[in-house]
Structure 1
């Protein structure tokens, strides 16, 4: 066994008490005994009062607080998990070191979903992400403005809006995906891009601020 595998085993073992707690808190006992959710000991648990649904129950199919890019330092980075709403894991999920997941609405993560590390998802209403989708470091997904804005009639004018991300999507580093955004299947979002609206062209490169389509009929491998 090489040194990387030994380190990984040590980290999984160190996180076992917290993993057991998370599974028992979020899942029925019939599922929790298989430990489908593995959590790093360095994951901060802000709240687990919400619900989790699993399409597949298999040991370690959801891993939180492990891995990530070479820029992430496991010794100093801390993953944060706050679930007061509902998360539906539709398959294999990797949430890397330093990621922040805050869910008070409904979050759906497709099979082979991957956050490389130090990214943030804030879900107050609904965020739906398809299969084989990757989010690079320091990106932010928010379906809410966090604070209400009122008009003269005291009506809220900045309602939360659903974010929809298709299958086989790559979101580049430091991207900002805001409420009402739609990213179709097969797209790449360039680094440091801000998206605030729906796009409809599949297999395209979307980049810039404001975001626009730069190329079409592209493909990439996860």
Structure 2
């Protein structure tokens, strides 16, 4: 049976207007309880955008003003999670949260053409004024577990959140893995696989695995 809810909103979504949702073609699914969704009145939503709460309680989704969302998919499976898109964000892609007490945050004035973000095991934070290209994957987990045969200890466990600083440029087809933080002002070259923290600000990173190839750089849109 298809339990998908379209436009008809539970009483907990009093901040949303059904007519506005219909005009913006924003599809809402909610299979949980006591979940809170707030979308600023002036957010422009185009394409087939969806919010799905597969199961869970006390999840919160907030989308700030002056945003432009294109084919945005927000998918939550768990409890006490937060997805926050700040003001003046232009975003296309998928935000997926699996687990409890996790967070995805996208800072103000950040843009993304095609970005997949997975918060599972740990959270993901993207700073202000970042420029994210197409074909981007940002993952706070490997999803599948790998164990040492002798000790039965998991060897690929996520131990820290993925945190991207402010004013970072991520070029096309980049993958950012678990436990990664990237300092302010960095440039991640096309095709890079970033699996270790980049602690030096204003540097250029490239390769698989990614390495710093130049320091003391700045970029403009």
TM range (shorter): 0.7 to 0.9
Does residue 1:101 correspond to 2:109, yes or no?
no
Higher helix fraction (1 or 2): 1
Classify the secondary structure of the residue corresponding to 1:116: strand
Classify the secondary structure of the residue corresponding to 2:26: helix
Residues 53-110 of structure 1: per-residue CA shift (max 9 Å, x gap): 46xx53xx33321xxxxxxxxxxxx5432134311333321112xx122123211211
Does residue 1:175 correspond to 2:183, yes or no?
no
Residue 216 of structure 2: aligned partner: 217
Residue 158 of structure 1: aligned partner: 156
1:63 paired residue among 61, 68, 90: 68
1:16 paired residue among 9, 13, 24: 24
Residues 95-146 of structure 1: per-residue CA shift (max 9 Å, x gap): 12xx1221232112111111123x2111111111111011100011001111
Could you tell me which runs of 5 or more consecutive residues in structure 1 were left unpaired when the two chains were aligned: 1-11, 66-77
Cα displacement (A) at 1:201: 1.3
1:39 paired residue among 35, 45, 62: 45
Cα displacement (A) at 1:191: 0.1
Could you tell me which runs of 5 or more consecutive residues in structure 2 were left unpaired when the two chains were aligned: 1-19
Classify the secondary structure of the residue corresponding to 1:95: strand
Distance, in Å, in 2 between the alignment partners of 1:116 and 1:195 is: 19
Indicate if the aligned counterparts of 1:175 and 1:192 stay in contact, CA closer than 8 A. yes
- Considering only aligned residues, what root-mean-square deviation do their CA atoms show, in Å? 2.9
Cα gap change, 1:221 to 1:127, in 2 (>3 Å):
same
Classify the secondary structure of the residue corresponding to 1:82: strand
Classify the secondary structure of the residue corresponding to 1:128: strand
Classify the secondary structure of the residue corresponding to 2:172: coil
Higher strand fraction (1 or 2): 2
What is the TM-score with the length of structure 1 in the denominator? Answer: 0.72
Count how many residue pairs are aligned between Structure 1 and Structure 2: 187
Distance, in Å, in 1 between the alignment partners of 2:51 and 2:176 is: 24
Cα gap change, 1:165 to 1:192, in 2 (>3 Å):
same
Distance, in Å, in 2 between the alignment partners of 1:204 and 1:176 is: 17
What is the TM-score with the length of structure 2 in the denominator? Answer: 0.72
